[in-house]
Every structure is written in structure tokens, then in C-alpha cells.
Structure 1
Amino acid sequence: MTTFTAPKGIPEYFPPNSAAFLAVRDALTDAARRAGYGYVELPLFEDTTLFARGVGESTDVVSKEMYTFADRGGRSVTLRPEGTAGVIRSVIENGLDRGQLPVKLYYHGAFFRYERPQAGRYRQLQQVGVEAIGVDDPALDAEVIAIADEGYRRLGLTGHRVDLSSLGDDTCRPQYRERLLAFLRSLSLDEDTRERAEINPMRVLDDKRPEVRELVADAPLMVDHLTDSAREHYESVKQHLRDLGVAFNENPRLVRGLDYYTKTTFEFVHDELGSQSGIGGGGRYDGLMAELGGQELSGVGFGLGVDRTLLACRAEGLDVGSAARCDLYGVPLGDAAKRRLVREAGALRAAGVRVDLAYGGKGLKGAMKAADRSGARFALVLGERDLEAGEAQLKDLSTGEQRSMPLDGLVDEVLSAVAKA
């Protein structure tokens, strides 16, 4: 019989390791919720033009990495490669930009890019993102960066840093673009890189090839050509970060891989991950909403890699997320005992206790081994004699201590034991 395997380049998370994945995702999203961001659930695929216009046709994401196909109606659709363009589309379509500003949203889920699979680089990647739309305030830029930093620190990470720069505004970027383009035209670049430079010269500064990096080592830098207002914005962001206690590293060569970024741009880096050291990043995108048919409203946001953050936790030896599937494991010995424990398990679950049972008629020895594998703190054993006596045996699996407790009022007794554990 034919067997099946998961598609290449797609990580799977299953117990007990999935507990760490959930812990990472929840820590990153919780930081956003506590800053007043509301949840948005985005489509997994959108009109291809949304990403071509929103992300930028000169980017590797659009030109090389998107999963694009025609649906049954002949429409060109693309599995989402990133989150910002979809959020902006949703804000415009649903009129959220007509209400209180800024619109503060967070999201999480799978994103898709056709890349060569390797450690930390997947074709289905998991991200947590936030977007704050409608207010051009340096304090909001700093808040977004601080949210990401807090999420990482709540996981216990200490080996990460945030690289920070400014990509200028609509006033200084055109002049800088001409200076950079003139510089790039003087170099011996290959044809593909030269064509990319003509579309968006700053993308060449993001090229990871050593030979290209060497050629552009003396390229003019955006931070040296900022207007007074753009520089004031950048300095204000840095001051707010200092006030928030967020350390940062100024990196004037930082260029994000998407075309829509302006002014503040940042990337979180963890050097222990090798070539895939970027664990998250983002920036401000002042012209994106208008480009996608909405108002002239600014925005700022980030996308944090859940997969790579989990790798960073492992690199630092952090034990995140409890692998325990339940708090209590029920061990029924006999049909009558099973009926009673099934009922008690339902009541305990309703009271908030995570409960699993030994199914399939396991004997005491096999059921206790299963209880140990579940990660539960307690095992609740109920046999025929216990039923007759109106009691059950609660065993603390970490200490081996065992005590009897009455079946009447069992829920309250177990709740008390779990609370004290």
C-alpha cells in the first residue's frame, strides 16, 4: 500500500514537542494583546495582485517565492507570503480606517514561500504579526518594537538583539535612490542584479551573496541622506526605545526584504542560528494603504517567526512549554469503575481540570505507565472495592504519595489538590 509523507520543507509539531511551539506562539501574541491589539483572522490566499502591488514586484518574495495558481474560476490567487498586505486590504474593505485610530491588530498563522528548505527556512512558516494603522507617531514605532522584545524576553531569550535603521521618507528617498542607482551602475553587476537595481536599487543592498556584498561595501547609506523631519522621527523612535528600556543596535545597512517599508525599519537577530539568524522584523509603511486603494494613512508593524524563535529557545537551552497533556490521569479497574470515572472526568473538565483516562481495558500496571507518559501530576485510581467503599485513590506521581478521597465531593477534592500542586 502507498504511504504518504508531508510536503518537503514543512515542519510538523506534535506532542510532546508541540507544547513548546504553542508556548512560543502564545508568548508573542500575549505581548500584543496586553498592548491593546485586537485579533484578525486572515484568508490563507488572496488575489495575486494584492501581493504584487503591496509587497513589490522587485522583491524575491514576489518574483521567486510565491505559491500562485489559477482557481477553478480562472482567477489568479496566491497563498499568503506575508501578513501586512492582507491586513491592509481587510482594514480598507471593512472600513476599520473610518473609526478610531490607530487600528491595532494582531494575527498568527501559516505563511507560504517557495524556498530551498533548510534549518529555519521553510516553505510553510508560522508567524505572529501586529499592525498599527492610521497614526504617524514615533512612540507607536517604539511600542511595536517593544512588544516583540517583551515577547522574546517572556520566553527567557537573552541572546537576541534588535537592529534598527531608517529608510527615509518620500522627500529624501527619491534623491537617495538616484545617488545609489548611479553608484550601482558603476559596478560590474550581473544582468539579473542590474535589472533589480533599476526597479529598486535598495534591494541590491539586501543581497546575501558575498561577492555582491563586497561590491556594495562603499555604497551611500540612507541614514546619511535623511531629511530633517525623517531624522527627527528616527531620533524620537530611539529615545522612546531608551525610555522603554529596549536596547538596540543601529545598523545603517539594514534593508528589509519588502518594498513597502519607509522610515523606521528593524530586525531581531539571534546569532546562534547561523545564516537564518533573523527571528523577526518589521517597520513603518507610510504609503502602502494608498497603494492598495485606501486612504493616505501610515502604518507600522512586524512579523515574528514562531519556528525560528523556537529554534532560538532551543539554542539557548530554554525549556519552554509544559509537555504535560493533562493534570490528572484516571485509572478505572472494571466496567462499573469506568462508568463512574467517565462521569467524574466530565465534571472535572467542566471545572477546568485537564483529565485523561486509561481506555481500552488496561490493567493497573499498563495504566500507570500511561499516566507517567501523559505528564500528569496525579493519577486517580478507582476499582470495584473502591466503588463499594465510596472512595477513590489519588496518587501524586511526582512524590509517590497516595491518599483516599470520597467519591462524593470528588471534584472539589481534586481541584484543591491540583491548586496546591
Structure 2
Amino acid sequence: MDGDTVRIKNIPNEFKLALPILRKIEAAGYEAYFVGGSVRDTLLNRPIHDVDIATSAYPSEVKALFKRTVDTGIEHGTVMILDHGTGYEVTTFRTESGYQDYRRPDKVTFVRSLKEDLKRRDFTINALALSEDGQITDLFGGLADMKAKIIRAVGNPEERFNEDALRMMRAVRFASQLNFKIEPQTLSGIYDHSQLLKKIAVERIHTEFVKMMLGQDAQNGLTLMIKSHLYQYVPGFTSRLIELQKIANAPFDLKNEVQVWSLFTSNFRFQREQIALFLKNWKTANKIINDVILTTELIFQIKSQKVNNLNLYWAGRQNVLNAVDVLSRSLNANLDDLLRAYDRLPITDKRQLNITGGELIKQKILSPGPQLGKTLAELERAVVLGQVKNQRSALIAAAIALNKE
């Protein structure tokens, strides 16, 4: 078989744990290799996530070798093996053809050839196979591209992106995460096929986009999205080129998904309802939407220098931290003061109020009803602003005063 070979002397523990599976398949006379992202990340000294195995054995042959298996994607040749403590996905070497929906193959053909299997993969750095003795099989120049820090499609980029349009987002995500460049022909293929991104489910784009924005060179990822026109085919970005360019040209270092979206919503000057609609279109979780609203509102208050204890209290410590992180690279203000101010708040949760509705009823200050809730909210506000001490006697006195008015 042609191609470069490199041997890894100390294979990571994640692979060692799966070696019994590889050996059992090989002992039955088939080929088996570790493939994909885990091999790439090993060579780049990055943490390994999923250990995937590819084999020349057909699914029925794999199932005959192991006691406990699950058909996780049997039509695409994938069987989950459960009888070694951890679940490992084992996929038969295959070729694919006919991509009507620009995402999934219409036809999958099982083959015995590793080369045919690696040929259908997205990028050269992901088309590497690792054998049980630590030998890397590289048939498409993935090792050289890794060394040169290049993302290159396997074979013809036009074909790869027609097969699966999500690969275009994966390319910009890898460029961001790994701090690699996309080679010209591959980038040109993304530009020519960017409109195919419309065919991909938003949830899948969402995952790649957030990973891209949390990468070590996220500005590069965003710049590539603008350059290749991918930005035109994701929710809410089409008419925002000027703001997107501004974001891509400014330094930022984001730590979580709330910060990712808050960077955009604050630059787009979105209000509460606009944020909710924008993020619903991105199929974002409700908890994230709520935190983005609170973080964005706090960012506006910080920028206009109108932050009080109540703003910090309603945002909550994590969202104060989110706002500080989003602004830390672009604002010269001493943002650490905001966290210190939050930590000095008399209470950070209404459950810390030293009086309950039940006690106010018991003291015959109030009866059950809307006025009770209103009074508790007023007391909470007054305590946060330092107008009333969080002591039972002071709170009772304040409640009496409030209800005399």
C-alpha cells in the first residue's frame, strides 16, 4: 500500500483500553484500525474524545465475534461493541455514493479495502489509520499537511462538499480549533458551494459554529466564514456583514456558549425579544437564551457606565463573569471591580432574604394575595441596594412601612 508511515511509540491509554477489540477482530483474520479524529488529536497532543475503529469485517462478521453488540448505525456499517466495559463503535470499511440531501449517502457499499474507506473521508488530517502496533497509515498526505498546519480536502473538494455540505463548517471549525490554514483549492470549494449549507439542519451547524467560536483562533474561523460567504447561510447573519467584520477584527477570547452568543447579540445591539428570536432560529437551549439575554443587558449597562448592584444581582455571578469575559479584550475599564462588587452584595438569591411570606402573614402584616408577592419583591430590591439591612426586625419594619403607604 502506498503512503507515508509513522510509528507512535507510546499509544495513549484510550487506545490501549480498546486494544482487546482490535486484537479479537484481527485474530479472526480481518483488518482493524483506529481512525479519524482520535488519531489526529494524538499526533497533535490534544485530548482524545471518541475512539473509533474501522475494520474489513462486515457488520454480521463483527457481531459474530462479540457477545454484546448494539446496531447503532447498522445500515452504514456501524456496530457498538459493549463487552469490554466501554462502548466502542466499530464501522466496516465502506464506499458511499449518491448524496441527494448533501448530507447522507443514498448508497453505502461495504468493502475490504482500507484505502477505499479513507478515500471517502473529509480532510487529509482525518484520513489517518492507526494499527495496534502504533503504526500510522497515511495515504493522502495527512501527516505532511499536519506538519504544515493545513486543512485540505481528501481528493476533489467539490466532491467532498457535495457529499456532505456540513464539511464546509467543519473546515472553518478545524482552522479555528487547530490554528491551521485552509489550503486555496479547499477554500475555493467552500466558496463555490457555500449555498449548500442551507440544506443542513441548523442544529448541526450550531454545534460546529460554537466549537469554532471557542477555538484558539476563532477570529480566523469567523473571517473564513465571511470570506467564503458561509455567513450568508446561517440564521440572522445575512444582513450583518459590517458587524461581523468588526467582531472578526477585534480581539476576543470566549470560554462558553453564552459568551459566544452574547458577543454577537451585543454587537448587533439586540434587545430581549430580538435575542430570543435570533437564538430560537439557531435552535439554542432555553437556559442559554435566558443567560444570553441577562449577559447582553449587563454588557450594555457596563458600556454606558450605568451598572448598579441590582443589575449585577439580576444577572447572577456567572453572567457577570460572562459579560466581563466578552468585554475584557475590548474595554479598558477595570472589569474585575464588577466581580468584587457582585461578591459584596448583601444577598445573591431571594432565598437568602431573612423573612418569608409565611412569617409576614403570621405577624398579621399581610394576607395571602398579590400584595404579599409585591412586598417581598420590594424588600428583596431594598436589601440588594443596601436600603434595608437583611435582618428580620429591619425587614418586618420595612414591610409595615411599605404597607402603610
- Which category describes the TM-score, using the shorter chain as reference length? under 0.3
Scaled by the length of structure 2, the TM-score of the pair is 0.22
Q: Relative to total residues, which structure has the larger strand share, 1 or 2?
A: 1
Q: Which has the higher contact order (CA 8 A, sep 6+)?
A: 1
Higher helix share: 2
